[in-house]
Structure 1
Amino acid sequence: MNTREQIKIEFLKLIASSSFDKVRISTICKNVNIQRKLFYYYFEDKYALLNDIYQDDLSLNFNISETNKINWKNGAKLLLETYKSRGAFYKNSITVDNNQWHNIFLTHMRALFIRLFNELSANDDRNFYFNATFFSNGWTGIIENWIINDFDIDIAVLIDQFYALIHFTKFNISKWE
């Protein structure tokens, strides 16, 4: 395992057991047995490290270039399972990260919805930015609340609702003007 990955793993462990604002770079460095300047070689600060983890989880589980109308359900399920398996980390970070997760997730979901709408509308040349922004804001809020509320809704229920939204979209997209 390389140093960058060791730093991420240690950070995940520390955030899972205490709040983001209490985790110090010096503690990460001590626990990984590296000098502080090596940390800064990889990350500008702990917000950059947090950003990297957020981006990695999205890219690995719900990749924009690999997601299509066929595999959306599976991608969403993998992502939600990752969030739940790292529940303490996500709950302890998104409540104090200055909306960093919210903005990253929202941007990612907007891009996925634009891709989905373009795929569902075939040769239609409409710009779906507004619709994608609307849907991604809703989904971001639902998932953020789900994390904050200790994953109070079963993943299967969320996925079914998400998939129903996609089917609704598929059925109605031709009617959007």
Structure 2
Amino acid sequence: MRSKEKSMQRIVSSVTELLTQGELDKLTIGDITNHCHMTRQLFYHYFKDKYDVVAWIYKNDFQNLIDQIPDYITYQDLLLEVLHLLKSKQLFYGHALQSKDYNALSTIMITHINLILSCYIRRSVTDVPQDQLNFLIDFYSHGAVRCLTELLTSLISFHEDQLSEWLIDTLPYSIRSQILKCKIKSADLLVSF
């Protein structure tokens, strides 16, 4: 591993560990640099701010998840895989999603869900007006992230299979049946990111 990768990994490991102990908004760059024994200047050489680190972790986790998926995947199966990921790092993602900053992970996840759902809809739904689809996608994305935030921060154990079904059930019937039949090439899901 090169020096750059080692330094970035030290920062990422520190943020990951620190976020299992408390909220992102209360975490300072000083906390991070002290934890990983690094200067602030070196931190800023690799990341813009703490939100940038969290975004990098999320994108990297999603990339790793997609890399493990065979060629094609349904929306429901993808949703289940993402829920497994979030549950496996529940403290980290719960604390990261609590942030109210405009650079927060919740904003990134809303955009990401929006893009992924749009991929499935573009390939499967043809009989619903585009403005209605845009509204439904946006509404669903915001609602899903809000519910996930509350669930992950409550530290209540949840069953990913059941939650996946509930999230699918919240999709309007007019598009749900078509989306459930659609499979997307896993590589296409990374293009949307």
Give me the TM-score of the superposition, normalised by structure 2: 0.71
CA distance in 1, matches of 2:9, 2:51: 16
CA distance in 2, matches of 1:104, 1:61: 17
CA distance in 1, matches of 2:53, 2:164: 29
CA distance in 2, matches of 1:74, 1:35: 42
1:101 aligns with 2:110: no
2:149 equivalent in structure 1: 144
What does 1:15-164 align with in structure 2 at a 5 Å threshold?
15-61=19-65, 70-98=73-101, 100-121=104-125, 126-127=129-130, 128-164=133-169
Deviation at 1:96, TM superposition (A): 3.0
Deviation at 1:34, TM superposition (A): 2.7
After the TM superposition, which of the residue ranges 4-13 and 23-32 deviates more from structure 2? 23-32
Contact residue 8 and residue 49 of structure 1 kept, 8 A: yes
Greater relative CO (CA pairs within 8 A, separation 6+): 2
Deviation at 1:167, TM superposition (A): 9.2
1:129-150 per-position Cα deviation (integer Å, ceiling 9, x unaligned): 2221122223222212211222
Cα distance 1:23–1:136, how it changes in 2: closer, same or farther (>3 A)?
closer
Give me the TM-score of the superposition, normalised by structure 1: 0.76
Residue identity (%):
21
Contact residue 168 and residue 176 of structure 2 kept, 8 A: no
Structure 1 vs Structure 2 CA RMSD: 3.1
Gaps of 5+ in 2: 180-193
2:14 equivalent in structure 1: 10
1:129-177 per-position Cα deviation (integer Å, ceiling 9, x unaligned): 222112222322221221122244311101122344569424378xxxx
Deviation at 1:60, TM superposition (A): 3.9
CA distance in 2, matches of 1:112, 1:59: 13
